[in-house]
Chains A and B, each alone.
Chain A
Amino acid sequence: MNDHRIVLMGCAQSAGAAIQELQDRGQALPDNVEWVRMPCGSSLDELHILRAFESGADRVMVLACYDGACRSVNGNRWAEKRVEAARAILEEVGIAGWRLAFQQVAPTMAADIWQWIADFQALQPPQDATPDAAQGAESEA
């Protein structure tokens, strides 16, 4: 299986704490995964996501707090809105929407993040998906 270049970006309070726990346990993120830590999900902008794809990411996963757990009240909901906006733009320029994922997470979910990365890495295009611009690049990787 190809190692797709994955960018994880998300809230320091939830995802950041969980990833820190992974690292404290000696589980470094795979080399093909880049972690972008943000102070809050509300800091996310669709430009961050676009720039990740522009810089060569094959897949991007945004991690934000569960509803009601955001220290800034609605940061996680804004993050999801930005993901939706970015996905719409990406689809307009030929990047399939499934390449961008949004996941809610809690600080205690280090093991889940590990599994999500593996699942996202293994994710295949949906059967009915039309080939997108990035697909050729992935198959050549």
Chain B
Amino acid sequence: MIVAERKPLAEILANVQNVNKLLVVGCNTCVAVCLAGGEKEVAVLSSALRIGLRDTNPNIQITQRSIERQCEEEFNAELADDIAAHDVVLSMACGVGVQTLAEQFPTAIVYPALNTTFMGRPEERGVWSERCMGCGNCVLDKFGGVCPVTRCSKSLLNGPCGGSENGKCEVDPKNIDCAWQLIYDRMARIGQLDRLLEIEPAKDWSTSRHGGPRKIVRKDMVL
């Protein structure tokens, strides 16, 4: 899922300082699961803004909404009346949701309340970590289901480097596992260590961001 965290309140407050009617919109999918932009976070942020603005903008009207997915226009359609009735929309979705609202409602002023951070998974309660950077050419089949592109700090396809020590990465030995230690252990466990003897050629990054914004078109789904 997409993992995000709330922006510093000072940054959000600066954007809404002179707003009369503010619509705070949450997204009940990814960012709700990572406790950044769901219904509850909308309530917390709205309350914090009312407290933070009570001296400088005490008459601000803040409306709270939350919808299933801001990245799909069908779900956003129900916001049309609310958006028309407010000066500014503060989106608590990921960057995709914010942009979808801005595209769908061309005259609406839409500000982000979150910093979209990565695609990852919850490791334990309150802890999320990155697992995929969307390189467009998945190599998980070759590395036992551990992604060296994302989880190796250097994205090495032929690792490990000299910075691997006791299973940890030199970039942050306390918090980052050496992806290549994880790959080696996993390949040993599934009996595929011999595959690591193959030299992996330099990665073709044309499927990643290096070719500009990407788009997928399924012609069988388009009339």
Query: Which residue from A54, A90, A92, A136 sits with its C-beta under 8 Å from B50?
Result: A54
Query: How many whole Å from A44's CB to the nearest CB in chain B?
Result: 13
A-contact 0/1 string along B150-185, CB 8 Å cutoff: 000000000000000000000000000000000000
What residues on A are CB-neighbors of B54 within 8 Å?
133
| Residue in A closest to B52 when the chains form the complex, CB atoms | A93
Q: Is the CB–CB distance between A50 and B51 below 8 Å?
A: yes
Query: How many whole Å from B94's CB to the nearest CB in chain A?
Result: 21
Q: For B10, B40, B48, B52, which residue has the most chain A Cβ atoms within 10 angstroms? A: B48
Which residues in chain A, 28-78, are within 8 Å of chain B measured between CB atoms?
45-47, 50-51, 53-54
Query: Which residue from A47, A94, A95, A136 sits with its C-beta under 8 Å from B44?
Result: A47
Q: For A92, A95, A136, which residue has the most chain B Cβ atoms within 10 angstroms? A: A92
Q: A122 in the interface, Cβ–Cβ < 8 Å? A: no
The distance in angstroms between the C-alpha atoms of A47 and B50, with both chains bound, is 12
What residues on B are CB-neighbors of A54 within 8 Å?
47, 50-51
Q: Is the CB–CB distance between A89 and B48 below 8 Å?
A: yes
Query: How many whole Å from A75's CB to the nearest CB in chain B?
Result: 15
Q: Is the CB–CB distance between B51 and A95 below 8 Å?
A: yes
Query: How many whole Å from B44's CB to the nearest CB in chain A?
Result: 5
| Residue in A closest to B49 when the chains form the complex, CB atoms | A93
Q: For A45, A47, A136, which residue has the most chain B Cβ atoms within 10 angstroms? A: A47
Q: Is the CB–CB distance between A53 and B51 below 8 Å?
A: yes
A-contact 0/1 string along B68-97, CB 8 Å cutoff: 000000000000000000000000000000
Query: Which residue from B9, B13, B44 sits with its C-beta under 8 Å from A46?
Result: B44
What residues on B are CB-neighbors of A89 within 8 Å?
9, 44, 48
What secondary structure prevails in chain B residues at the interface with A?
helix
What residues on A are CB-neighbors of B9 within 8 Å?
89, 92-93
The distance in angstroms between the C-alpha atoms of A93 and B51, with both chains bound, is 7
Q: Is the CB–CB distance between A47 and B52 below 8 Å?
A: no
| Residue in B closest to A133 when the chains form the complex, CB atoms | B55
Q: Is the CB–CB distance between A92 and B8 below 8 Å?
A: yes
The distance in angstroms between the C-alpha atoms of A94 and B9, with both chains bound, is 10
What residues on B are CB-neighbors of A136 within 8 Å?
55
Which residues in chain B, 8-34, are within 8 Å of chain A measured between CB atoms?
8-10, 13
| Residue in B closest to A90 when the chains form the complex, CB atoms | B51
Query: How many whole Å from A34's CB to the nearest CB in chain B?
Result: 17
Q: Is the CB–CB distance between B48 and A50 below 8 Å?
A: yes
Q: Is the CB–CB distance between B13 and A93 below 8 Å?
A: yes
The distance in angstroms between the C-alpha atoms of A120 and B167, with both chains bound, is 50
B-contact 0/1 string along A74-104, CB 8 Å cutoff: 0000000000000001101111000000000
The distance in angstroms between the C-alpha atoms of A45 and B40, with both chains bound, is 10
Q: B135 in the interface, Cβ–Cβ < 8 Å? A: no
Known: A54-B50, A92-B9. A47 touches B43 (CB 8 A): yes
Can you list the 6 inter-chain pairs with the closest CB atoms, starting with the nearest?
A93-B52, A92-B9, A50-B47, A93-B51, A89-B48, A54-B47
Binding site for A on B (CB under 8 A): 8-10, 13, 40, 43-44, 47-52, 54-55
Binding site for B on A (CB under 8 A): 45-47, 50-51, 53-54, 89-90, 92-95, 133, 136
9 A-B interface contacts by CB (under 8 A): A50-B48, A51-B47, A53-B51, A92-B8, A92-B52, A93-B51, A94-B52, A95-B51, A133-B54
